[in-house]
Structure 1
């Protein structure tokens, strides 16, 4: 079994983690872009005479906007995923090692899952703040349902003129809560999945193929199920920046009930599972390759 570089207290070079995280983000985005567009559209549907299914939405997009519409917002999204992957894994590696050192100096030992949850939340805070403007641009471009493609430059100018710099951080409070919580649960669940895979391999004397991808997929799906309602509110606030999170939550509850908070959840899972699988497995592969190159020189 390959070394798990996300283990509690693991020591990983920040530069190597930065490179591997960037590659991981780029690959994950390139593969899952259409699913992300569909997920965002489903989350942003407001009043409908009848429920809109994923298949119906896809058919509508292809018919009225063309195949290219599935990649709307892809430019800022590529920047988002590359920056997010780089900042998330780099900050995770640094926080993971430093929190371990701090516990050793203070002669205390946090429970393993609490340690990973805190490190995951910390990396989520850092990476969210760094990448949020690209996330907002990606959402607004993907939400555009006209046949005319909006350019990233034009959208940036409109945000600056109408909302100012603060407009690029519209809805960041629920976003922080959503992404930070997701990140914390993700790394906890990934660790539990890796521990379970080790027990299975010992019991059956058989190595699980693609264990990083399998465990990453499980962690992504579990974390998304827990935090999806917050993600729905986050997307709404990004396209309706003058609403408060509380008023948005109440109005959404009255109009759609609990089910409304999970609109687009099926598509989101189809996107989250492969994204998480690719993110973790590509990160580990790229990190091992980077370490080999570094040793060679």
Structure 2
């Protein structure tokens, strides 16, 4: 009431003019501070808002992003798989001599340069639906979770926001992996072949696995996959979105493409470090009985862990982590960068915030 009265005074004397002038300055300063705070809140909310696109466009952006990323990093992905499965049929002396350069040279000498992309067709066939489903499911799960009491205040509390991202990413990963798993198994078996070719392509591999091992053979290692893919995608999505929002909040004028690439790369390193042992166990379980070979692990997921640690030590669980790091930095970065570019393009909004 007093403020309103003072603002409404008709100033005639010098003292009154000074009082009114000082009060106007204070009010003006308050308005500017309020406007700045309001602008800051709007910027924070704007950074969390995603371009609105339809279901088909969402699936297309995610699928194309995954396919491009996998094609670009296929040589490093194949090296990772070959290192991961070395311990199944190799002795300790052979393993101690393994190196990225030696294995890459062997591939070029024995199989030719194109062999670095062995299994890449099935990788794309797997990655298109996998990435499409994971990105789309993540957005859907996140929207659903934000309606739950407690999580609906995700814009106000960082802990609720991180919880939404972690749970949404985990559920999205489990959904995508479950729906596309047979193609992932076929990809591993094609990429693990060296000089002896048993599976002649995608359709032949699917037929041969069903013939030799039954339909259940298409889902070998699914338990390890689901156990690892949930945390992997949860960590990847949450680290990426958290880093990206903070980066753009602190440095809003940085190039958005480079920000997406950097944040995606760091999120990939974080998720790979945490979940790599599960990925290694998954690969080895996928190759159990492949091409008529004898089974190596007969005691399930945790028995396989114990067998690897006993035979190769703790380091055995991280066999191939170096080429994985070399792969994941550009791979995940390219995925998120391409996804954001396509999403912005399909929604008609520029990606230059």
TM-score by length of 1: 0.89
Shift of residue 32, structure 1, vs aligned partner:
1.0
Say whether residues 1:232 and 2:273 are aligned partners: no
- Bigger mean CA offset, 6-15 vs 16-25: 6-15
Q: Which residue of 2 aligns with 1:129?
A: 178
Q: Is the 8 A contact 2:47 2:248 kept in 1?
A: no
* Mapping of residues 244-259 of structure 1, within 5 Å: 244-259=300-315
- The answer to whether the aligner puts 1:120 opposite 2:176 as a matched pair is no
Q: Report which stretch shifted further, 176-185 or 148-157.
A: 148-157
1:17 to 58, 62, 66: 58
Partner of 2:195: 146
Q: How far 1:200 sits from its partner (Å)?
A: 3.8
CA pair 182-5 structure 1, distance change in 2 beyond 3 A? farther
**In the TM superposition, what is the alpha-carbon distance from 1:81 to its structure 2 partner?**
1.1
Q: Equivalent residue for 2:328?
A: 272
2:81 counterpart (24, 31, 40): 40
Once residues 44 and 132 of structure 2 are traced to their aligned partners in structure 1, the CA distance between those partners, rounded to angstroms, is 20
The CA distance in 2 between the partners of 1:206 and 1:154, in whole Å, is 49
Which sections of structure 1, spanning at least 5 residues, go unmatched? Answer: none
In structure 2, which of residues 241, 247, 265 is the aligned counterpart of residue 191 of structure 1? 241
Partner of 1:222 in structure 2?
A: 270
SS at match of 2:285: helix
Structure-2 change in CA distance of 1:8 and 1:260 (3 Å): farther
Q: Residue 24 and residue 17 in structure 1: after superposition, are their counterparts in 2 closer, same or farther (change >3 A)?
A: same
Distance (Å, rounded) in 2 between the aligned partners of 1:21 and 1:6: 20
Mapped to 2, the partners of 1:30 and 1:6 lie a distance apart of 30
Q: After TM superposition, list the pairs within 5 Å mapping 1:277-292 onto structure 2.
A: 277-292=333-348
Q: How far off is 1:11 after superposition?
A: 5.7
Judged with a 3 Å threshold, the aligned counterparts in structure 2 of structure 1 residues 87 and 269 are, in CA distance, closer, same or farther, namely: same
Mapped to 1, the partners of 2:167 and 2:189 lie a distance apart of 31
Contact 1:95 1:123 in 2 (8 A): yes
Distance in 2 between the 1:10 and 1:98 partners? 18
CA shift digits 1:64-95 (9 cap, x unpaired): 11112111111211111111110011101111
SS at match of 1:80: helix
SS in 1 for 2:195: coil
Structure 1 residues 6 and 278: CA distance shift in structure 2, 3 A = farther
Displacement after TM superposition at 1:208 (Å)? 6.4
Aligned ranges for residues 146-165 of structure 1 at < 5 Å?
A: 146=195, 148=197, 150-165=200-215
Aligned partner of 1:79 in structure 2 is: 125
**Shift of residue 280, structure 1, vs aligned partner:** 0.5
| RCO comparison, higher one (Cα < 8 Å, 6+) | 1
**Contact 1:38–1:57 at 8 Å: present in 2 too?**
yes
CA shift digits 1:149-183 (9 cap, x unpaired)? 73222211110112222111101001101111101
Residues 77 and 6 (structure 1), Cα distance of their counterparts in 2 relative to 1, 3 Å cut: farther
